[in-house]
Amino acid sequence: MPDTKAIGDFAATPEGEGYWRAILARMPRYPLRNWTVFLGFLAFVLARYVQLGARRDILATVRFEFILGIVIILLVGQQMASRKPNIGRAQPLLWSISLLFLAMIVQLPMAADPDMAQKIFMDRVIKFAFMTFFMVVMIESPRYLRWFLGAFLFAVFYITLESTQGLISGGLVWQNQGIMRLHGAVPIYEHPNSLGGVAMGALPFAAFLFTRVKSWILKLGLLALTGTSMICVIYSGSRTAYVGLVAFIMWWFFQSENKGKFVLWGLVAGVAALSVMPDEYIERFMSIGGKEKEGHSKEMRKEILTDAWTILMENPIGVGVASFPAVRRARFGRKQDTHNLYLEVATNLGWQGLIVFMALVSIMMAGFRTSAQAFRLQLRALARMGRNPGLPPPLRKKIRKHAEDLQFLVATSQAAAGFILIRLVLGLFGMDLYEVYWWFGAGLAMVLSGLVISTRQNSKNLLEIADNFVRPS
C-alpha cells in the first residue's frame, strides 16, 4: 500500500491506475457457464416459446424440440457436475416444488383418466420443470440473466408481431362472441385468451426494464414489444386479458416511486388508447360486469364452476391429474374443463394439492420481494461510498457497473412478481396449472436468490477496498 499522505496524487499516476486495476482484478467474479452450452439453452427457450416444431412439418417429424431438449439436458447436466448451482436461500421454494411433484405423482395411479394424466404429467409437468432446472444451472450472473430475458422477450415479440401483422391483413381475425377477435398463428396461442395471456406476460418486463437499459436500440425494442403486446391484448377481445391488464397497472402503480407522475402519464395514455380503440372492444371490456353482446360465455362459466365445486365436494382428495373433464362428463354429461386455475388445482390434486400450490406461489412472491430488498440495500451502501470524491477511476467505474447490475436485478424482481401476479389473476378465468408459467417464475425466483449471495459478496469486496482507501485531505 502506498503512503497514505500521497494517495490522492498516487491514484492519478499510471502506477496508481495499475495498482487499483490489480486490486480489482483480484476480486471474485460471477461464475459463468460454458458460453456454447448457454447459447444452446437460449435456442431451447426460443424454440419453446416460438413453437418451431409447430411451424415446420420437418421439425415436427424429427421432433426438433424434443431432441434439442435432450441435448440441452445432457450438456446442462455436465455443467452441473462441474459446479453445483447457487440458489441462495431458496430451499423453501425447492421443497414446495418437490411437494407439488409429490401431490401429482400420488394422483397418477388414482386418476379417473389415467391415460390423460400420464400424458399431461410427462409432456407438460416434467418437460416444463426442466425450464426451472436449466435456468438455475445456467444463469449465475446478471449478464446471463439479461441474455435469457432478451431471448424470452424476443420470442414474445415475434409471436405478437405475427398476430399484429395478421390483424392488418385480416388473416388472423374472425368473429367470435359478437366481435372480431385476434388469434395467434400457432395452435398453442391460437385461442384469443391464450394470445392475450402470453402478450400480458411480456408487459411487466418491458415496463420495469425500460429505464434500466441504456441502449436506444433496446429501448425501441421494448417500446415495440409493448405496442404489439397491447395490440394483441386489446384486439384479442379477451376479457380475461383485460382484467389482467388492470391488475398489472395497479401493481405497477404501487411499485412506482413517483405515484403522482404515474397517474398523470397513465391518464394521458388511457385517454389516447380510448380515443383510438374501436367501440366494440370498449363494449367488450364493459361486458365484464354487464350483459354480453352475443353468446352465453358467463352463464357457461358459472355452470362449470358449479359443477367443479360439486365434484370437489364429492372428491376432496382430488380426481387425478387433468382428469376433471372425464369426471364431469361422467357426472353431468358435460366435458369442458374448470376455466379456473384454483378449482383446477383443487379438483385435480385435492385440497392438499391446492395448499401446496398456494404455498409455492406465496414463497415465490416473497422471494421476489426479499431479493429486491437485498439488492436495494446493496445499492444504498454503494451510493454512500460512491459519493467519496477521492476514489480512483477504476474503483469508481467498478462501483458504477455493479450498481447498474443491481438496479437491473431490482427491476427484474419487480417484473417477475408482476408476471406471477398477472398469471394468478388470469387464473380466475383459465386453467394454467400444467403450463410453463410457474416453472418460469420458480426459476427466476431461485436465480435471483442465488444472485443475492454473489452480488452481496462483490459489494462487500468493493466496499472493503474503498474503506481501505484513505480520502485525500
What's the rounded Cα separation, in Å, for the pair 235 and 221?
A: 21
Residue-wise pLDDT tens digits, 457-473: 888 888 877 776 644 44
Quote the pLDDT of residue 26. Answer: 62
Concatenate the DSSP letters of all residues of 345-375 into one string. HHHHHHHHHHHHHHHHHHHHHHHHHHHHHHH
Interaxial angle between packed helices 127-138 and 35-50, expressed in degrees from 0 to 180 and rounded to the nearest 10: 150
Q: Is residue 63 part of a domain?
A: no
Q: Which of 24-28, 113-117, 237-241, 433-437 has the lowest mean pLDDT?
A: 24-28
| The three three-digit cell numbers of residue 155, written as one number | 420470442
Could you tell me the pTM of the whole model? Answer: 0.90
Q: Residue 105: which H helix or E strand, with range? A: helix 91-105
| The three three-digit cell numbers of residue 97, written as one number | 416444488
With a CB cutoff of 8 Å and minimum separation 6, the contacts of 278 are: none
> Band of the pLDDT at 2, cuts 50, 70, 90?
very low
> Band of the pLDDT at 256, cuts 50, 70, 90?
confident
Q: Is residue 320 part of a domain?
A: yes
> Band of the pLDDT at 17, cuts 50, 70, 90?
low
Quote the pLDDT of residue 48. Answer: 85
Which letter, b or e, does each residue of 287-325 get, where b requires 16 or more Cβ atoms within 10 Å of its Cβ? beeeebeeeeeeeeeeebeebbeebbeebeebbbbbbbb
Quote the pLDDT of residue 1. Answer: 43
User: In the chain, how many domains are there?
Assistant: 1
pLDDT at 233 over 70: yes
Q: Greater confidence, 271 or 333?
A: 333
Which of the 8 DSSP states describes residue 471? P
Measure the N-to-C terminal CA separation of the chain; round to a whole number of Å: 18
Q: Is residue 74 part of a domain?
A: no
Q: Is residue 38 part of a domain?
A: no
Quote the pLDDT of residue 79. Answer: 81
Helix extents (H) in 295-336: 297-314, 324-332
Cβ atoms of 450 and 457 within 8 Å: the answer is no
User: Taking all residues of the chain, what is their mean pLDDT, rounded to a whole number?
Assistant: 85
Cβ atoms of 422 and 201 within 8 Å: the answer is yes
Measure the CA angle with vertex 147, ends 145 and 151; round to 5°: 115
| The three three-digit cell numbers of residue 98, written as one number | 418437490
Q: Is residue 108 part of a domain?
A: yes
Quote the pLDDT of residue 6. Answer: 47
Q: Residue 179: which H helix or E strand, with range? A: strand 179-182
Of the candidates 427, 431, 430, 407, the residue with the CA atom closest to the CA atom of residue 419? 427
State whether residue 193 is helix, strand or coil: helix
User: How much of the chain, in percent, has pLDDT values that exceed 90?
Assistant: 49
What's the rounded Cα separation, in Å, for the pair 312 and 165?
A: 43
Cβ atoms of 193 and 238 within 8 Å: the answer is yes
Q: Is residue 154 part of a domain?
A: yes
Helix extents (H) in 170-215: 187-190, 192-209
| The three three-digit cell numbers of residue 2, written as one number | 502506498
Positions of E strands within 27-66: none
Q: Which of 131-140, 199-208, 387-396 has the lowest mean pLDDT?
A: 387-396
Section 434-457 average pLDDT: 94
Residue-wise pLDDT tens digits, 95-135: 999 999 999 999 999 899 999 999 999 988 998 998 999 99
pLDDT at 9 over 60: no
What's the rounded Cα separation, in Å, for the pair 61 and 70?
A: 16
Section 216-222 average pLDDT: 94
Q: Is residue 79 part of a domain?
A: no
Q: Is residue 53 part of a domain?
A: no
Q: What is the span of the domain harbouring residue 113?
A: 4-30+85-467
> Band of the pLDDT at 414, cuts 50, 70, 90?
very high
What's the rounded Cα separation, in Å, for the pair 153 and 159?
A: 10
> Band of the pLDDT at 284, cuts 50, 70, 90?
confident
Quote the pLDDT of residue 419. Answer: 95
Cβ atoms of 296 and 308 within 8 Å: the answer is no
The residue written with cell numbers 364493459 in the block is 286
The alpha carbon torsion through 20, 22, 23, 29 (nearest 10 deg) reads 120
pLDDT at 296 over 70: no
Quote the pLDDT of residue 384. Answer: 81
